[in-house]
Amino acid sequence: MEPINFSANAVTSEEELREIVGTPHEHVIKKNVSLIDDQCKRFIEMSPLFFLSSSNAEGKCDVSPKGDFPSGVHVLNNKQLVIPDRPGNKRVDSIINILSNPHVGLLFLIPGLGEVLRINGRATIIKDPEILSSLSLKGKPPLLGIGVDVEECFIHCPRALYQSKVWNTDSWPDKADLPSSLEIFHAALRHNGVKLKK
């Protein structure tokens, strides 16, 4: 299929957008808060998985899954939290983005729960030994942390997770039918000119 020119028939203003989708209910607008209250803190402490979105100064975006033990993300107070940067593949895409653009979005999930918690704020890469020691895993503190000054926090409706049946094991595909991550990885290397040993 030939590439499509999406801009030929695009929505280009909020006014046009509202004509199509309408206006949200007052309660939907006013559910946003600019702090981590007790309910949001409890949600974060029970979440073993979240997604961190970031972009660089040019606007190029990245979303990175982050898995940890529940309460791995440390809530410092009602305006700040800290994310440990656990050892990984050393790409550090999110951290590099944050160095040029501090705006981040977080999406926290709890297994079996349809609602997700969304947090937006400004991030800073920190190396404070005292804070990092409080994020230790098996006695080892992370080398770096991502401190987030929370600007917006709200619960998101369960429609997407319920519709996708992501927590319903009966709807999961057979593992034999799943795409192979190794095959995808090797194909990407070949696309980029890397010769793999047979």
pLDDT single digits (tens) 47-78 = 999 999 999 999 999 999 998 888 789 999 99
pLDDT single digits (tens) 3-13 = 999 999 999 99
Mean pLDDT along residues 25-29: 83
Q: How confident is the model at residue 150 (pLDDT cuts 50, 70, 90)?
A: very high
How far is 160 from 166, CA to CA, in rounded Å? 9
Measure Cα distances from 76 to 85, 126, 132, 140, 177 in Å: 16, 14, 12, 20, 43
Q: Answer yes or no: pTM beyond 0.85.
A: yes
Q: Give the strands of the sheet with 49-55, arranged side by side.
A: 61-67, 49-55, 103-109, 116-126, 144-156, 80-85, 74-77
Task: Of 70, 76, 148, 73, give the one whose Cα is nearest residue 105.
Answer: 148
Residue with tokens 């951290």: 95
CATH architecture under which domain 13-166 falls = Roll (2.30)
Helix count (H) and strand count (E) of the chain? 7, 7
pLDDT single digits (tens) 73-114 = 999 999 999 999 988 888 899 999 999 999 999 999 999 999
Residue boundaries of the structural domains of the chain: 13-166
End-to-end Cα separation, the chain, in angstroms: 33
Report whether 98 contacts 104 (CB < 8 A).
yes
